[in-house]
Amino acid sequence: MTTAGKDSAGEDWDNEWREIPGPEAILIAVVQNPDLLPLQGKRLSEVAALWHEDPIDALCDLLIKDKAFTEVAVFGMHEPDVVLALKEPWVSIDNDSQGTSPEGLLGAEHPHPRAYGTFPRILRKYVREEGALTLPDAIRKFSALPAQRLRLTDRGVLKKGMGADVVVFDPATITDKATYENPNQFSVGMEYVLVNGVPVIAEWKMTGALPGKVLRGPGYVP
């Protein structure tokens, strides 16, 4: 990649390296190379110190050793911006982390805590503790709004004839437990979760049922 003709300060292209406070703002989350597993959960600044390298060199060497499979968490967002976005009526909320488990092969990984706590965190922090969102508005941003945006006409609201995807929880107790230091922790407070009308969590315990199915939007081509 060439930067010929670009401003060296990164003003004319998306230079994320210059947009973060420093290497301490990059947390090594998941690696594929078994030799690099001890680095999961460490900051890039720690890796650089461990390898006696400049942070940018350590970053490049890490990617080479892991064949660019490395996943990271980057601390580059400004909290007032997050709250401002959350409040916008057209903004829906999603979780872009893959499903994971604290046990087995996935339990050996160090994912971003959003893999376990995205929606409970919104309900705890931004609804219950800070009052940035009302509970009905948060639920709409979790369900009806994204379903409408994706044109999933049989999902997203409680209505006769719709897919019965239902979550029963106590707004006063629902809490995320996953942290950047220890992300493999389930959230608490989900009493029942029904997928297509079948309980997958009942009385706070997983049932083992697998009633889910792939949802396809109007643009799907077999």
Q: Could you tell me the residue ranges of all domains in the chain?
A: 16-74, 79-206
189: Cβ–Cβ under 8 A, 6 or more apart, which residues?
120, 169, 170, 173, 174, 175
Ordered alpha helix ranges (H), 10-54: 44-51
Model confidence over 189-202: pLDDT tens digits? 999 999 999 999 99
pTM metric for this prediction = 0.81
State the pLDDT confidence band at 116, using cuts at 50, 70 and 90. very high
Confidence at residue 11, expressed as pLDDT on a 0 to 100 scale: 66
Model confidence over 33-75: pLDDT tens digits? 999 999 999 999 999 999 999 999 999 999 999 999 999 999 9
Q: Spell out a b/e string for 124-159, using b for 16 or more CB atoms within 10 Å of the CB, else e.
A: bbbbbeeebbeeeebbbbbbebbbeebebeebbeee
Containing H/E element for 63?
Answer: helix 55-65
Distance CA 139, CA 146 (A): 11
